[in-house]
Chains A and B, each alone.
Chain A
Amino acid sequence: MADSVDVKKGLPANPEKATLEGKNKFLGMFVFLAGETTMFATFFGTYLGLRSGTASGPEPADLFQLPLVFIMTMILLTSSLTSVLATYAMKKNQFGKLKLWMWVTFLLGVTFLSLEIYEFVEYYEHGLGYTSSAFASSFYTLVGLHGAHVLFGLGWILLLLLRNRSRGITLYNAPKFYAFALYWHFIDLVWVFIFTVVYLMGIGG
């Protein structure tokens, strides 16, 4: 049984993939993310198809503020780095460090999400309601869906941290932390595309 391995004698080199359950979670997560990629691709396609459909409402270039988006990008990229550091700590069986870096990831995620909400409120005040135009709908849907993924990830990491706050790293929970880290990288990757396709192309044409 996975949990009966004595971690004091040391974990295997890759605790997240040492059991069949772990291997299944690892592969299952990748397949799930492949599906998510396709779904986001569809939303990107929709956005690209509709972004000039502004129906004489606000246009991308009127709204987007690069400094804010740049800060958001940096925060999210950093959170991906901290989740890598957490994964390293996990592989070295350093439970304290794992928790620390996961909490940092969590806080960075919360900051990012708050900035995104601030951004949406700002745009709304500049006259870009959800129903203003096809551009507005597709922008809020694409970026908002990414935000929803961040929110879901934050709930996930919170549950993981609370559940495992005093358990140490086991072969049972290592795959769970690892699956979360994969998900978090994916969110980060999607944001890189949003940053490029939505914001940079929105300002630069």
Chain B
Amino acid sequence: MVSEATNTRKKSVLWDWLTTVDHKKIAILYLIAGTLFFVKAGLMAVLFRIQLIAPEMEFISGQTFNELVTMHGTLMLFLAVTPLFFAFANYVLPLQIGARDVAFPFVNALGFWLFLSGGILLSISWFFGGAPDAGWTSYVPLASREFGGIGIDFYVLGLQISGFGTLISAINFIVTIINMRAPGMTMMRLPLFCWTMLITSMLIVFAFTPLAAGLLLLMLDRVFDAQFFIPGEGGNVVLWQHIFWIFGHPEVYILVMPAFGIISEVVPAFSKKRLFGYTSMVFAVLIIGFLSFMVWMHHMFTVGVGPIANSVFAIATMTIAVPTGIKVFNWLFTMWGGKLRFTTAMHFAASFVPTFVLGGVTGVMLAMAPVDHLYHDTYFVVAHFHYIIVGGIVLGLLAGLFYWYPKMFGHKLNETLGIIFFWVFYIGFHLTFFIQHILGLIGMPRRVYTFLEGQGMDTMNFISTIGAFMMSVAIIILVINIIYSALKAERVTEKDPWDARTLEWSTNTPIPEYNFAQTPQVRSLDPLFYEKIHGNGEMKPAEPLDDIHMPNGSILPFIMSIGMFIGGFGFISFHMDLFISPYVLIAIGGITFFGGMAARSLQNDYGYNIEKETVESMEKELS
């Protein structure tokens, strides 16, 4: 009665992508959008590194420098790294747990479109009076109505909208992992990438909501003249820092946790060994997740919160080094005595370990409250967090890209070009950022658009900029690799090109929309590897072949996101001279968004069934 035959109607390509609720297609959308923001933010970094190549350069103005620095940080953290991890999570996570789809396909699509519309809203600030310029942390009073430009309004509303998308995606991931695992996939057999995504998603639920609250407060201050951060009217500026960092520190782990997960998948696959200390890895992730909420004030040692608070937060911060150390040693022990294959993915995974450790060590240095007065707001801090973010997170992302590429696109990336890319990127990265530790120690401040001659900073800044150029060249090599591989590389038809261990490699390539014709029966950790040793190398089915129920596509997520975009722009336009009143824009946006919600709840959406015979013929065709 309910199999409305929507799947038989032929859709145009564009309509198909705008209405899709298939987690694999949403993953590709995330990958494309995240990459665009990544490249954009990277180019911004190159621009301000050119400004810093020599003393007293006048390549860009101080104002532009502030805007570029702010946008570089904001885009990288909110609109590049998280979406790229969501791309992998969306694609791989349901496959790894043996599910046909995520728990809420509609919400998943809505999450993507909201993220994108928030990102676009943030990006168009350049055309409406300037980008945000108060740093990615947007501290008041620098970001208040009195001192901050209109760009801050774009910052506040763009992040609010894209953050909402991130939040609902996270809820979706949590429910998917907890409720939709294949039979036999107990929590302690869950692949580590799923574990880290689960904890990441929980961190998002508990950290993005304070951010949403903080952004709302800042918006009310700026647009509706509230007094939260105005000391003269009883407000408090340090309040912003508390709210921001109680989000901001977990955010670091929101970014790095999935990288931990990817490394924990790639290292065993290319070491031909089970991950060393699986259980301790899981508990390390849990402990790190918990502790990440206990340390926010280490970003505020120099604010003057007092010696007791400083001591407590310094100790709590250093405690995080313990579970992190457990993880690092587990990766090393996994490789120890393994049959290592140095593919490009493994290059990235193996090089992740020392660079991440270096970032961690400088982290412990910064955690010492008294010494932090020396490091505070210098390039030492910049170097530290880029060792975590580039030397950890980006290397993890690239390892994941090379590892899962055959599953996602049906062909491998070229390995020779990949390894050239790795070395150019890796050397460029160290040239850029290692030297910034020393620059920071001799006193070069962050966020200052130029420096004077004869302070011993000329050569080091020059080298740093050359490193940034090298990383850009590396990214160009990656783009060439992607194009070359798409044109030349052999199609991968086998299911398991890497001889890997987890469930995603047991599916056909390309993956049919229902993922698994029959839900697999999981019998061990590393289920595919277990079947290779104890069975015929194929997963045993946990259910008979039957009709498969799939969700219908919907254009509503797209429309609702446009509504959010218009409404968000309305709130910003209070400080603009537009031909249309802000209230009208807000009303249009609100009606579109909530109208979309109402339409969704009023329609009958039972999805459709793929008949058993269709599944059989599709499976035959693929294998």
A binds B: yes
| Contacts from A to B (Cβ < 8 Å) | 1-4, 20, 23-24, 27-28, 31-32, 34-36, 38-39, 41-43, 45-46, 49-50, 52-55, 130-138, 141, 155-156, 159-160, 163, 172, 176
- On whether the beta carbons of A137 and B227 are closer than 8 Å, the reply is yes
| Distance from B410 Cβ to chain A, minimum over Cβ atoms (Å) | 30
A141: chain B residues within 8 A (beta carbon): 216-217, 220, 226
Q: Flag whether B513 is at the interface (Cβ < 8 A).
A: no
Binary per-residue interface labels of chain B (351-390) against chain A in the complex, 1 for a CB within 8 Å, 0 otherwise: 0000000000000000000000000000000000000000
A131: chain B residues within 8 A (beta carbon): 224-227
- On whether the beta carbons of A137 and B220 are closer than 8 Å, the reply is yes
The one of A24, A52, A156, A163 that contacts B179, using a Cβ cutoff of 8 Å: A24
Query: Known contacts A27-B179, A46-B213, A163-B602; is A55 also within 8 Å of B172 by CB?
Result: no
5 closest A-B pairs by beta carbon, nearest first, are A53-B234, A134-B234, A42-B213, A137-B226, A39-B209
B225: chain A residues within 8 A (beta carbon): 130-131
A41: chain B residues within 8 A (beta carbon): 210
- On whether the beta carbons of B220 and A35 are closer than 8 Å, the reply is no
- On whether the beta carbons of B606 and A1 are closer than 8 Å, the reply is yes
Additional pairs, 4, CB under 8 Å, beyond known A4-B2, A133-B234, A172-B606: A4-B1, A24-B179, A46-B228, A53-B233
A50: chain B residues within 8 A (beta carbon): 228, 234-236, 239
- On whether the beta carbons of A43 and B213 are closer than 8 Å, the reply is yes
| Distance from B595 Cβ to chain A, minimum over Cβ atoms (Å) | 11
| Distance from A203 Cβ to chain B, minimum over Cβ atoms (Å) | 19
- On whether the beta carbons of B227 and A133 are closer than 8 Å, the reply is yes
* Chain A residue at minimal CB-CB distance from B173: A31
Name, among A23, A131, A137, the residue most crowded by chain B CB atoms within 10 Å (CB to CB).
A137
Query: Known contacts A133-B234, A137-B228; is A24 also within 8 Å of B167 by CB?
Result: no
* Chain B residue at minimal CB-CB distance from A38: B209
The one of B167, B233, B601 that contacts A35, using a Cβ cutoff of 8 Å: B167
Q: Flag whether B180 is at the interface (Cβ < 8 A).
A: yes
A156: chain B residues within 8 A (beta carbon): 601
B235: chain A residues within 8 A (beta carbon): 50, 53, 134, 137
| Distance from B437 Cβ to chain A, minimum over Cβ atoms (Å) | 35
A2: chain B residues within 8 A (beta carbon): 606
A136: chain B residues within 8 A (beta carbon): 227
* Chain A residue at minimal CB-CB distance from B235: A134
Query: Known contacts A23-B179, A38-B210, A131-B225; is A31 also within 8 Å of B2 by CB?
Result: no
* Chain B residue at minimal CB-CB distance from A176: B601
Query: Known contacts A32-B171, A49-B236, A159-B598; is A55 also within 8 Å of B227 by CB?
Result: yes
Q: Flag whether B483 is at the interface (Cβ < 8 A).
A: no
9 A-B pairs (CB sep. < 8 Å)? A24-B103, A28-B175, A35-B171, A35-B208, A35-B209, A38-B207, A43-B213, A46-B239, A53-B227
Query: Known contacts A50-B236, A53-B234; is A130 also within 8 Å of B212 by CB?
Result: no
Q: Looking at chain B's contact residues, is the secondary structure mostly helix, strand, loop, or mixed?
A: helix
A31: chain B residues within 8 A (beta carbon): 171, 174-175, 205
Within 8 A of A (CB), among B190-228: 205-210, 212-214, 216-217, 220-221, 224-228
| Distance from B254 Cβ to chain A, minimum over Cβ atoms (Å) | 14
Q: Flag whether B622 is at the interface (Cβ < 8 A).
A: no
Within 8 A of A (CB), among B580-623: 594, 598, 601-602, 606
B213: chain A residues within 8 A (beta carbon): 39, 42-43, 46
- On whether the beta carbons of A42 and B178 are closer than 8 Å, the reply is no
- On whether the beta carbons of B104 and A28 are closer than 8 Å, the reply is yes
- On whether the beta carbons of A133 and B210 are closer than 8 Å, the reply is no
**Distance in angstroms between the alpha carbons of A132 and B227 in the assembled complex:** 8
Query: Known contacts A2-B606, A23-B179, A163-B602; is A38 also within 8 Å of B206 by CB?
Result: yes
Q: Flag whether B435 is at the interface (Cβ < 8 A).
A: no
A135: chain B residues within 8 A (beta carbon): 234
**Distance in angstroms between the alpha carbons of A132 and B232 in the assembled complex:** 11
| Distance from A21 Cβ to chain B, minimum over Cβ atoms (Å) | 9
- On whether the beta carbons of B228 and A138 are closer than 8 Å, the reply is yes
- On whether the beta carbons of A1 and B1 are closer than 8 Å, the reply is yes
B602: chain A residues within 8 A (beta carbon): 159, 163
A53: chain B residues within 8 A (beta carbon): 227, 233-236
Interface size on B, residues (CB 8 A): 47
B321: chain A residues within 8 A (beta carbon): none
| Distance from B587 Cβ to chain A, minimum over Cβ atoms (Å) | 16
| Distance from B445 Cβ to chain A, minimum over Cβ atoms (Å) | 30
Q: Flag whether B549 is at the interface (Cβ < 8 A).
A: yes
Query: Known contacts A46-B213, A55-B234, A135-B234; is A130 also within 8 Å of B226 by CB?
Result: yes
| Distance from B131 Cβ to chain A, minimum over Cβ atoms (Å) | 27
Name, among B167, B232, B233, B594, the residue most crowded by chain A CB atoms within 10 Å (CB to CB).
B233
**Distance in angstroms between the alpha carbons of A27 and B598 in the assembled complex:** 22
| Distance from A146 Cβ to chain B, minimum over Cβ atoms (Å) | 13
| Distance from A56 Cβ to chain B, minimum over Cβ atoms (Å) | 9
Name, among B174, B207, B226, the residue most crowded by chain A CB atoms within 10 Å (CB to CB).
B226
A28: chain B residues within 8 A (beta carbon): 103-104, 107, 171-172, 174-175
| Distance from B611 Cβ to chain A, minimum over Cβ atoms (Å) | 14
**Distance in angstroms between the alpha carbons of A52 and B233 in the assembled complex:** 11
Q: Flag whether B243 is at the interface (Cβ < 8 A).
A: yes
The one of B171, B224, B230, B598 that contacts A134, using a Cβ cutoff of 8 Å: B230
- On whether the beta carbons of A42 and B209 are closer than 8 Å, the reply is yes
A155: chain B residues within 8 A (beta carbon): 594, 598
The one of A27, A38, A132, A134 that contacts B178, using a Cβ cutoff of 8 Å: A27
Query: Known contacts A39-B212, A42-B214, A49-B239; is A20 also within 8 Å of B171 by CB?
Result: no
| Distance from B515 Cβ to chain A, minimum over Cβ atoms (Å) | 15
| Distance from A72 Cβ to chain B, minimum over Cβ atoms (Å) | 24
Query: Known contacts A39-B209, A137-B226; is A163 also within 8 Å of B601 by CB?
Result: yes
A38: chain B residues within 8 A (beta carbon): 205-207, 209-210
- On whether the beta carbons of A24 and B104 are closer than 8 Å, the reply is yes
Binary per-residue interface labels of chain B (97-116) against chain A in the complex, 1 for a CB within 8 Å, 0 otherwise: 00000011001000000000
| Distance from B331 Cβ to chain A, minimum over Cβ atoms (Å) | 30
B171: chain A residues within 8 A (beta carbon): 28, 31-32, 35
| Distance from B476 Cβ to chain A, minimum over Cβ atoms (Å) | 40
| Distance from A142 Cβ to chain B, minimum over Cβ atoms (Å) | 10
A36: chain B residues within 8 A (beta carbon): 209
* Chain B residue at minimal CB-CB distance from A134: B234
* Chain A residue at minimal CB-CB distance from B232: A55
B236: chain A residues within 8 A (beta carbon): 49-50, 53, 134
The one of A3, A133, A159 that contacts B2, using a Cβ cutoff of 8 Å: A3
A54: chain B residues within 8 A (beta carbon): 234
- On whether the beta carbons of B1 and A46 are closer than 8 Å, the reply is no
**Distance in angstroms between the alpha carbons of A43 and B228 in the assembled complex:** 11
Within 8 A of A (CB), among B246-272: 246
A39: chain B residues within 8 A (beta carbon): 209-210, 212-213
- On whether the beta carbons of A46 and B234 are closer than 8 Å, the reply is no
**Distance in angstroms between the alpha carbons of A20 and B519 in the assembled complex:** 15
Query: Known contacts A23-B179, A130-B226; is A42 also within 8 Å of B601 by CB?
Result: no
The one of B104, B180, B210, B232 that contacts A42, using a Cβ cutoff of 8 Å: B210
B594: chain A residues within 8 A (beta carbon): 155
* Chain B residue at minimal CB-CB distance from A131: B225
**Distance in angstroms between the alpha carbons of A131 and B235 in the assembled complex:** 11
A138: chain B residues within 8 A (beta carbon): 228
Query: Known contacts A131-B225, A160-B601, A163-B601; is A42 also within 8 Å of B243 by CB?
Result: yes
B601: chain A residues within 8 A (beta carbon): 156, 159-160, 163, 176
